[in-house]
Structure 1
Amino acid sequence: MKKLMAVASLLTLAISASTSAASFTLSSNDIKQGEFMSQVHEFKGFGCTGDDLSPHLKWENAPKGTKSFAITAYDPDAPTGSGWWHWQVVNIDKSTTEIAQGAGSEGHAAWLSTASHVDNDYGSPRFGGACPPQGHGVHRYQFTVHALSVEKLELPVNASGALAGYMINANSIATSTIEALYKRD
């Protein structure tokens, strides 16, 4: 009975230690889970007239073993059969834990010292804002920060969004996502 009590005590201790550990979290001053984004995050082009600014993002409590980060923004509701990559940044230095609004725009990439953009589905290596077809209803935009187990993902210069996504997911040890919404009536 004493052995059983000792084992139960150890299990309780282990469970409480693991549940009290801080989890990898993503927050933003600009976007909120399940809420509509502002027009400042709408694409400028393809009939959209937004400011095309990436949102502020801040992440905390990266797991042990994190060697770099990646950021992705994806619309699974785009009528393409494969969704739409709005943003992919890889090889973000592990010391980076926050980026300002507009950091994904052309000319605002000083924070990308070791990192690089992958071409979005608009064909540009930068953030490309929301631009769902008019009248297509609500689209979900999944902004995800990935804690990676490698310092550098080796990708070809013109890597597709699918290839980059595969390599990011294959090397992710933790992710945190904010799913924001957008529609054009």
Structure 2
Amino acid sequence: MSLDRPVTPDPYELLPSVPSFEVTSDDVTEGQALKDDQVQAAGDTSPQLSWSGFGDDTKSFTVTCFDPDAPTPSGFWHWVVCDIPASVTSLDTGAGAEGGAGLPEGAFMCRNDVGTKAFTGAAPPEGDQVHRYFFVVHAVKEEQLGVDSDASPAVVSFNLAFKTAGRAILTGTYQH
């Protein structure tokens, strides 16, 4: 089976336009390969993220990590964190560990495509094309997104389509 496929578009370009703001990381550099810590086989550690410049209408944040280049029609969700209070503007390295002890009060993780409520690192098939990992901070217009921790990433994304006030994107890459 050949894993050569055309590169998919930026999935966020397909959504309604919203204002952008800034997200930075001590662990992920825009357009560069992820560190071993963010790879499933070598660490499964969520990266540090900080954000700024979001609108005054922000009442909470949702953070996601999505790989649109996975060999599935729906891509692959690595991380979903909901209901981060608007007063919080960063997550520490490792905040996505199972159990959520590193998350701010009130925030929680939904199940990812591995089925865990945690961050799952990059794990593209060996020999596949370079994969992109979109770390996205969504500024949300409500204090709670309206989902619980059993929500699928698709349900979280559906809710975000109507409640996003702004979006900040940082994209890392990885190839096995």
Shift of 1:94: 0.6
Q: Residue 118 of structure 1 corresponds to which residue in structure 2?
A: 110
Deviation at 1:156, TM superposition (A): 4.4
**Cα contact 1:102–1:108 (8 A) shared by 2:** no
Q: Name stretches of at least 5 consecutive residues in structure 2 with no aligned partner.
A: 1-19
The aligned residue for residue 24 of structure 2 is 27
**Which residue of the partner structure matches residue 179 of structure 1?**
171
Partner of 2:17: none
Which position in structure 2 is the counterpart of 1:138? 130
Q: 1:154 aligns with which of 146, 162, 165?
A: 146
Q: Which residue of 2 aligns with 1:62?
A: 54
- Structure 1 counterpart of 2:14: none
The amino acid of 1:163's aligned partner reads V
Quote the Cα distance in structure 2 between the aligned partners of 1:107 and 1:117. 9
Q: Distance in 2 between matches of 1:32 and 1:128?
A: 18
TM-score by length of 1: 0.81
Q: Residue by residue, what CA displacement relative to the aligned partner does 1:147-184 show, whole Å, maximum 9, x if unpaired?
A: 00000011144211101111123211100000110010
Contact preservation (8 Å) 1:26, 1:58: yes
Contact kept, 8 Å, 2:65 with 2:134, in 1: the verdict is yes
2:92 matched residue in structure 1:
100
Question: Identity percentage over the alignment?
Answer: 38
Match of 1:129 among 105, 108, 121: 121
- Provide runs of 4+ in structure 1 moved above 3 Å: none
Give 1 or 2: higher helix fraction: 1
- The total of aligned residue pairs comes to 157
Structure 2 length as normaliser, TM-score? 0.85
Aligned-partner residue type, residue 167 of structure 1: N
Structure 1 segment 35-114 matched on structure 2, within 5 A? 35-43=32-40, 49-107=41-99, 109-114=101-106
Distance 2:58 2:145 in 1: 13
Highest RCO, 1 vs 2 (Cα 8 Å, sep ≥ 6): 2
Q: Does structure 2 conserve the Cα–Cα contact (< 8 Å) formed by 1:141 and 1:180?
A: yes
Q: Which runs of 5+ in 1 are unaligned?
A: 1-22, 44-48
